[in-house]
Structure 1
Amino acid sequence: MGLRAENARMVRKLVVVAAGMFAFGYALIPLYKHICEITGINILALGEKQVPGGSNAAANSQVDRTRTITVEFDANARGPWQFKPAVSQLKVHPGELATVMYEFQNVQDHRMSAQAIPSYAPRQAAAHFNKLECFCFNQYTLEPGEKKQWPVAFVIDPKLSKDVTTITLSYTFFEVGGKTPAPPQAAAGREGGERG
């Protein structure tokens, strides 16, 4: 009888522990949302009552409205496809979330996989150009003739030197695992015996 009572006590303890774990797991989602709201970690997720441009949307206090930076967008395609930004430039305040779309079309007669590599000018801007979403994070496979649009969501750190008023964000889009033709200048230089 002592062993049976001890087992029953152990089962009760385990049921209490399991119920506590279930309650903690159930409460974790609202707890996580509350922590993110307090710390500002999840700045991209709008609350249910916050509508962009609405009166309930809280103003971002980290935006430096005294400065405007012109961001120029450039696209270079290393291969036979079309790749370009939807706009050539955008004026933003440091700390302000901005998004620009890039358009890409595979004009080849076969499926291709490609990826983009970004570069910045001036070079010092790279450390202050924070991309929250970017097509350059992944490789993409497109079917023949397929057209896609991809966003680049970014914030420029207000700590960027005040001397910088223009940043150029340039992407080079290249085929992954494919044969990329050499640029015309380099090919002509090699044929003429010049160094590239």
Structure 2
Amino acid sequence: MKIRATLASALRRDNLLLTGKLCVVVVLMAGFGYALVPLYNAVCTALGINVLSLSERQHALRADDVKNTQVDTSRSIEIEFDANARGPWEFKPAVSHMTVHPGQLATVMYEFRNVQDRRMSAQAIPSYAPKQATAHFNKLECFCFNEYTLAPGEAKQWPVVFVIDPKLPKDVKTITLSYTFFEVAGKGGKQAAVVGAKPGDKS
């Protein structure tokens, strides 16, 4: 009986220890997720670059690239638009979806309203589904290239001008473009909202 009691006590002690370790991991993961955007912004400030939009700028199209793109009218791709806001403000696409041909220049507007009683600076980070479509979703203009600052109650519309690469795999029929809008530390209103900001524009 004493051996059983000792084993049960050791098992309970091990379970409590494992539970404690798991709780610590959960807290650390939550803290890392909460601090991720401020960390990006700190790196951005220290290096003088916009880390959040660096990859998007690198893959942006030029007007000449679009002119040389052939439209594949034999295929149609359904583009679904999604918007998520990290904070008490309104952010949504003007339309929920559209159908385009690969190589066709298309534009969708996103609407944003600052419903807070203070100035707010924010930036959007895009994601794509399926993941294999990411390299084939090419943007000519996108508000995700820059940070923007809105006054209390101010509303804006920003465009995303894009082309789906005709080299998109044949089995991809639908692409979901999703943006998450994060609040970031502003720069004294220097980066005011500008519709149609292009890659390489200086704030």
TM category, shorter = 0.5 to 0.7
- Secondary structure in structure 1 of the residue aligned to 2:144: helix
Distance 1:42 1:169 in 2: 21
TM-score in terms of structure 2 length: 0.59
Q: Does 1:97 align with 2:113?
A: no
Partner of 1:164: 172
Partner of 2:64: 41
- Secondary structure in structure 2 of the residue aligned to 1:41: helix
Partner of 2:157: 149
Distance 1:176 1:101 in 2: 22
Partner of 1:68: 76
Change (3 A) 1:43 1:163: closer
For structure 2, which runs of at least 5 residues remain unmatched after alignment? 1-62, 187-203
Query: More helix per residue: 1 or 2?
Result: 2
Q: Does 1:77 align with 2:85?
A: yes
Distance 1:98 1:61 in 2: 13
Q: Does 1:111 align with 2:127?
A: no
Distance 1:160 1:61 in 2: 13
RMSD of the alignment, in Å?
Answer: 1.7
Deviation at 1:177, TM superposition (A): 2.4
Deviation at 1:111, TM superposition (A): 0.1
- Secondary structure in structure 2 of the residue aligned to 1:125: helix
Counterpart amino acid of 2:118? H
Partner of 1:12: none
Distance 1:61 1:154 in 2: 12
Question: Aligned residues: percent identity?
Answer: 78
Alignment coverage as a number of residue pairs: 124
For structure 1, which runs of at least 5 residues remain unmatched after alignment? 1-39, 45-59, 179-196
Please point out which of 120, 140, 146 is paired with 1:138.
146
Deviation at 1:42, TM superposition (A): 6.5
